[in-house]
Amino acid sequence: MKYRIAVIPGDGIGKEVMESAIEVLRASDAPLEFIEYEAGDEVLKRRGVALPEETIEGSKEADAVLFGSAGETAADVIVRLRRELKTYANIRPAKSFEGVKCLHHDVDIVIIRENTEDVYKRLENEITEDIIVDLRVTTKEAVERICRFAFEYAKERGRKKVALVHKANVLKKSDGMAKRIFYEVARNYKNIVAEDYYVDAASMFLVMNPQRFDVMVMSNMFGDILSDLASGLVGGLGLSPSANIGDESALFEPVHGSAPDIAGKGIANPSAMILSAVMMLEYLGEKERAERIEKALRESIKEGLTTPDLGGKLKTKEMTEEIIKRL
């Protein structure tokens, strides 16, 4: 049996890094069948719609979705696709790479970001021309679901701690509720340490002492910001993968966007996209292949066989070839 993978390269470097990921997946001999769909800025220009219906339907029917990146239409493409697929949990790991110069060298953090509400509901109300009110939505159901997901994730992987990041001193009702629910859920996981941090303090500790964190769970906007910070701790956006998980669908994408400044130059780092494919293989139960690809990628980076963002001299295609050689 082959898993059906919906492939959406999207815009800019999304197309370039997707090509690399597919090549690596093919070289690993994973039992996958790829079906390509289109979305993004260029599709909007050509067809008048950024996220065509067949892309949504194809993604729903697939066993998993691989997504490259969307440019200016990102809100209409990826934010909508996550909603259509009901992927409520966004997993963003940040793990140090040997051979990459960074502030810290033993970071191993997984940020679990709530994916369905908060300001990403995009309920923006224009009260007057000068006053806009954005609604920050928090529901008990979504908070409970994401907290349970974070503890289950930690339990399955033998991780020791889960930290809630919030702002309950100001947002007393919404984040106050989140904090209460978090500790209620934590009671079912006696072997995992539960702790909580204000988002401002968490940001400082992430920079000064990231080793204190293990799994972190937070609302949508805090997760968006802190996961980029965490990505910066281990070498930047070129190395940061993510997974969007729901009960029926899963979508895997690099944290970075379409990077218009380097698009078309063939120098984008394919690692974030390849590591997203690794997360997809784990999700599909192909653990051995997933580990093999990650190991080959980490070896290439350790040997300095990288794209310029990490100080190397290789083009995207050349770095991909080095990874495949080490598979």
Contact between 36 and ligand ATP by CB under 6 A: the answer reads: no
CB-nearer residue toward ligand ATP: 215 or 226: 226
d(CA 219, CA 223): 6
| Active site annotation includes 167 | yes
CA distances for 272 relative to 79, 90, 275, 278, angstroms: 19, 15, 5, 10
Contact between 66 and ligand ATP by CB under 6 A: the answer reads: no
Contact between 10 and ligand ATP by CB under 6 A: the answer reads: no
Query: How many helices and strands, by DSSP H and E, does the chain display?
Result: 12, 12
**Collapsed DSSP state (helix, strand, coil) of residue 89:** strand
Smallest gap from residue 60 Cβ to ligand ATP (A): 24
CA distances for 214 relative to 162, 224, 302, angstroms: 6, 17, 24
Contact between 268 and ligand ATP by CB under 6 A: the answer reads: yes
Question: Are the beta carbons of 82 and 74 closer than 8 angstroms?
Answer: no
Q: Which residue in the set 259, 275, 281, 319 belongs to the binding site for ligand ATP (CB under 6 A)?
A: 259
* Interacting positions 185-244 with ligand ATP (CB under 6 A): 237-238
| Active site annotation includes 29 | no
Contact between 93 and ligand ATP by CB under 6 A: the answer reads: no
CB-nearer residue toward ligand ATP: 69 or 174: 69
Smallest gap from residue 290 Cβ to ligand ATP (A): 20
Q: Which residue in the set 148, 256, 289, 298 belongs to the binding site for ligand ATP (CB under 6 A)?
A: 256
| Active site annotation includes 228 | yes
CA distances for 204 relative to 9, 217, 219, 223, angstroms: 35, 16, 18, 15
With a CB cutoff of 8 Å and minimum separation 6, the contacts of 168 are: 175, 176, 178, 179, 196, 198
Q: Which residue is nearest to ligand ATP (CB)?
A: 257
d(CA 71, CA 94): 23
Q: Which stretch binds ligand ATP (CB under 6 A): 27-35, 172-180, 188-196, 253-261?
A: 253-261
| Active site annotation includes 120 | yes
d(CA 272, CA 212): 24
CB-nearer residue toward ligand ATP: 259 or 277: 259
Of the residues 88, 120, 153, 197, which is catalytic? 120
d(CA 30, CA 282): 11
Q: What is the residue whose two structure tokens read 């979504």?
A: 142
Q: Which two tokens stand for residue 141?
A: 């159901």
Contact between 306 and ligand ATP by CB under 6 A: the answer reads: no
**Collapsed DSSP state (helix, strand, coil) of residue 55:** helix
Smallest gap from residue 13 Cβ to ligand ATP (A): 6
User: Applying CB under 6 A, what is the total number of residues that bind ligand ATP?
Assistant: 17
CB-nearer residue toward ligand ATP: 39 or 192: 39
| Active site annotation includes 134 | no
* Interacting positions 126-145 with ligand ATP (CB under 6 A): none
Of the residues 45, 172, 183, 200, which is catalytic? 200
Q: What is the binding site for ligand ATP (CB under 6 A)? A: 13, 17, 69, 71, 237-238, 256-262, 268-269, 272, 309
